[in-house]
A and B are shown apart, each in its own frame.
Chain A
Amino acid sequence: MSSAGDYRVERPGRLTARAARLSTGLGWPITGALVVTLVATIVRLLGPLVIRGGIDDGIAADDKQTILIAAGVYVGLLVVQYFVTAASQWSVAYVGERYLVQLRSVVFSKMLRLDMGYFSRTKSGVLVSRMTADIESLQEFASDGAVMALSNLLTVVGVAAALALVDWQMALAVFGVVTVLLGVSVVFQRQARKAYDMVRERIGRVLATLQEGITGVRVVQAFTQESTQASTFGRINERHFEANMAAARAISWYFPVVAFLRVVAMVVTLGIGATRVIDGSMTVGTLVAFLLYLDWFFQPIINLSNVYNLLQSALSALAKLFEVMDEDVAVDERHGAYDLPDPVRGAIVVDGVAFAYNPAVPVLSDIDITVSQGERVAIVGETGSGKSTIAKLMMRFYDPSSGVITLDGADLRDLTISSRLDAMALIPQNGFLFAGTLRENFTYARSGATDEDVWRVLEVMGIDDWIRSLPEQLDTEVRERGSRFSAGERQLVALARAFLADPSVIVLDEATSNLDPETEIKVEGALRALLSGRTSIVIAHRLRSAEKADRVIMVDAGRIIAEGTHNELVDGSDAYRELVEVWQRGLA
């Protein structure tokens, strides 16, 4: 959970202005919402004036008919008030919710456009919380806070104006009390926020400890640590209780003080009012209207001080979202990019490429690789040698620091993204599946594919029997991240997905972990079908893949140290021979 509370909001005005610029297409709804809210407030403020009329011209004048007329007018006003208030509630929420739909989409599409460098720099938890916790704190403001803020603010201003119009001297006295209330509210909000930040932090620890206690319960019991665990938990839990009580103390003084100030305001009103009614300079009706207005002063101010919290979190969430929006897209389509000309051959040339994530630490230097159409090249090397980075550069997840990579003679950076990706596919180490059905996963890269297309590919890859053996076949739900299937089975799905995309070039990052023998055989068969007739670059982790390649390139510390067929390298390169020995030992 991101704690919006401790994020300092700089330049709230500028933030709000920028947020407002994102509200395209909402101009009329916003105007409408403002107008109905204004009307609702005015109608509400008329009520006590009607009562004043009823008291002064009806009750004080012993005129029953006027009393009934005043009551009738009030009822009429209330009917109007009901509908405009409802309209105001609804329309402000409509604006807020529509705005959020747009915001979610704008932020997420920007996030997806960002380069892989951004994704590897930023923790995925942080990215997720931008789209969830942060937007949700805006949601809270949009659905409830905005209308509260608007209507309460208008009410306070309106009541102040009404009081001043009815009797400005008495109004001034009341404003004095209200000023104290405002000051008290500001102090209270500050204290309450601090206290609740603490509560939030400590409940986080309580829940983490609780979860650990549950997932580790077998170990706890095996070593009879039940009571130790319980007392550790008890301590953390007690600290949460203490934080809660600190928060309770912070808010326990506020409401009594507000209640007392309300009585003070009444006393002031009554003191001045009653004296003036007696000396004839004020009517009883005015006094009663004044007392009724007082309530509408206090509750809105309490409400506003609550909304202030929501507003603060909303603004700090906005600031974080704008950070994402301001992020540069390092890998983007160049202006004037052109489509890869047909027919695609799939020849790749890496020419004098150097690369560093961080300028001080070069990852690759002087890389020259030529892969001709239909060739299979294996890249081998130790963990950290830079071999995976070569694959990522070929996919243009990053652009080289210097040098150039071409596909069919065209610089990758000059090609339109869509035409380049149509020609190439990366198969990452672990078969990643999206929640949904198998069909959706197979056709992920080719949404137009029919079931026949899918089955044909599955047959060619030799995995149609497996899918047919599943009770729901293509409709099988793979569950979150494909957890319905084993690692090997997920890999098979990923291979089929690539096959359906039908790229000319395949970049395969081989899985490091071992599969069970049966699946291993299936994966090999599927891979053979997939790679045949296509250019392929395999980041190899096992002997068999190197043996099968047309050519092997060995990378060490970011440079190519050997190149040739497997047999040539076994004879000619000590480093390669050593690597092969490690592989062989692993097999034994």
Chain B
Amino acid sequence: MVESQAKLRDLKTGLQLLLKILSGYRSIALISILGALIWMAMIVVIPYLVGSIVDEAVTARDTSAIWPILGIMLVAGAIQALGIAMRRYFGFKLSYRAEADVRNRIFAHIQRMAFNFHDTTSTGELMARASSDLSQLRLILSMLPITLANLAMFLVVSAVLIVIDPVLGLTASLMVPALLLTSGRFASRVVGFSFDLQARLSALSHVVEESISGIEVVKSYGQESRQLDRLEEKAEVIYDSSMSMARERAIHRPLFEIIPALGTVAVLAVGGIRVVDGAITIGEFVSFTQYLAVMVLPLMITGWFFANLPRSAAAASRIDILLETAPEIADPRRPVHLPQGPGQIELRHVSFAYPDGTAVLEDVSLTIPGGTSVGLVGVTGSGKSTIAHLIPRFYDVSDGSILLDGIDIREISLDQLRSEVSVVFQETFLFSASVVDNIRVGDALASDEQVRSAARLARAHDFICAMPDGYDTVVGERGATLSGGQRQRVSLARGVVRDPRILILDDATSSVDAVVEAEIQEALRQVMSGRTTLIVAHRTSTLALVDNVAFIEDGRLVAFGPHDTLLREIPRYTEVLAAEESVVG
């Protein structure tokens, strides 16, 4: 009971959302609806004309009466065609335009959502909002004009029939609810099974993918038949699901012919007797049969529309929830302009905890003088990366504050803050674009020369030039494959191309092997010189490059000072370094 009430509420909010979206495209929607109404009017007129031919020409035995009526009928046919064209074209335009606009909004919104949102929301879920949910929405929007016209048509046709003859009209009108219910029921049941089917198809495709990527194992143990068994098992359940759908089709589809035919039988029996009794003319009888014929398809479509409505309303409300979720990190209302400065960073009693309350940093105070470099050292989970993420405001501190050249970073606009703070992540993400475009992500206005010098600084220039298209080589998921070290150097170039005041290297060298590490060391030395740099690091070789080390344990700053000093004075520091070193090898 409660569930169905909740469903009803969802449906209501979903419908309101649909209308809200629709209101943005009022004129397109109106043209489409107008077209639908024209079409509907002609649907009503044409069977009437058929009846008049029978009465005024055939029954009256007047051949000359045929031609004017047929002429009118052709004109009505042409107007009807125009109405259909308007209805369809603008119906499509409405739905495609709305789909494209909402998709743009979703994308822009996703781009603005803060890190903690993305930490807890899967890519698949967001993709579903912008693809399958949106398609569902579009489908229903494109059907809206025709459905409105159909509803109007059922009313008008029923009224016309009842006016012509109340008994016969009421009998024939019974077809309307019967077909609506049948097609609604059919659509909702088939949709349910088709979801099952989709899930089962994807289970089968997992078996196939697994067999192919593990083919060496399959073949070296001679287990082909075992994989085949697994596939056949999946194929059988797909068969079951498909046959359930086939059963629904077998039960319902014939009804779409039978119900209108029963209507025709009723017209034949009741109408025939009324003709014999002289209550209606034979022409009116013929138009009745015609009305029944033209209503069948619209009735089926309308039933389908209402069966899909709840699903679309649910999709609409899911999209709305996403769009209404505000990003947790946003610009201050009145941003303070950050003046030129040396790049001094000050953490004042900084604490940070996850939304679930797990404390990560506790009361960390630390001043990093402008132009110096700091290594952040600690075991996994100590909170060292968190410090790196707080400075560009990927997350906000739970308590305390962080100052950049004396100004609280929450008072600076995100644009300015992040243009002064460059981050090179551990996971190097490159876009499917050319190398030069990937580096320009760091600074859209960088000249070719600036891009090259950043690449040189990051020791990437040589291997970029060695690639077939040099800086124009497309990389990323759909482009050339770069090694881990190469990717790392491209993203380093991206980080330094804008010549940021602060550079943060988040474990940027952990995934490369010893040879590449040595190459990157040299690049690091160059980019760090004269720039405030924070570097999350494990390797002694990297720590030898920095001015100071901040040693973090359990979310607290344990020591701050030059690497050598810490090595000498803090035994635990040496221990942690040794453990990290051996793991990385």
Contacts and interface: CB of A to CB of B under 8 A. Distances in A.
Q: Is the pairing of A and B real?
A: yes
A499 to B, nearest CB: 12
Given A82-B258, A101-B235, A207-B127, A112 B88 contact: no
B31 interface: no
Contact of B272 (A59, A113, A426): A59
A428 B231 CA distance: 24
Interface in A105-119: 105, 108-109, 112-113, 116, 119
B268 A71 contact: yes
Interface size on A, as a range, is 35 or more
Contact of B246 (A89, A222, A263, A494): A89
Contact of A248 (B53, B93, B232, B441): B93
A481 B217 contact: no
Contacts of A267: 70, 73-74, 77
B386 to A, nearest CB: 14
Contacts of B227: 108, 112
Contact of B422 (A207, A222, A422): A222
A421 B50 CA distance: 79
Contact of B269 (A71, A422, A424): A71
A211 B429 CA distance: 13
Contacts of A230: 104, 107-108, 111
A288 B216 contact: no
Nearest to B59: A284
B513 interface: yes
A255 B84 contact: yes
A434 interface: yes
Interface residues of B, number: 135
B182 interface: no
A104 B229 CA distance: 11
B108 A226 contact: yes
A157 interface: no
B46 A226 contact: no
A314 interface: no
B343 to A, nearest CB: 17
A58 B272 contact: yes
A579 interface: no
Contacts of B431: 212, 216
A277 B257 contact: no
Contact of B250 (A93, A228, A251): A93
Chain A contact surface mostly: helix
A252 B92 contact: yes
A277 B227 CA distance: 71
B213 to A, nearest CB: 6
B425 A218 contact: yes
A139 interface: yes
A372 interface: no
Contacts of A167: none
A209 B133 CA distance: 18
A260 interface: yes
B525 interface: no
Interface of B: 46, 50, 53-54, 57-58, 61-63, 66-67, 70, 73-74, 76-78, 80-82, 84-85, 88-89, 92-93, 96-97, 99-100, 103-104, 107-108, 110-115, 118, 123, 126-127, 130-131, 201, 204-206, 208-224, 226-228, 231-232, 235-236, 238-239, 242-243, 245-247, 249-251, 253-255, 257-258, 261-262, 264-266, 268-269, 272-273, 275-276, 282, 285-286, 289-290, 293, 297, 392, 394, 414-415, 418-419, 422-423, 425, 429, 431-432, 441-444, 476-478, 491, 494, 498, 513-514, 582-585
Given A93-B249, A112-B218, 17 more contacts: A54-B268, A59-B285, A93-B243, A105-B231, A105-B235, A112-B211, A112-B215, A212-B477, A214-B123, A218-B394, A223-B441, A224-B415, A260-B80, A270-B53, A274-B66, A287-B54, A447-B226
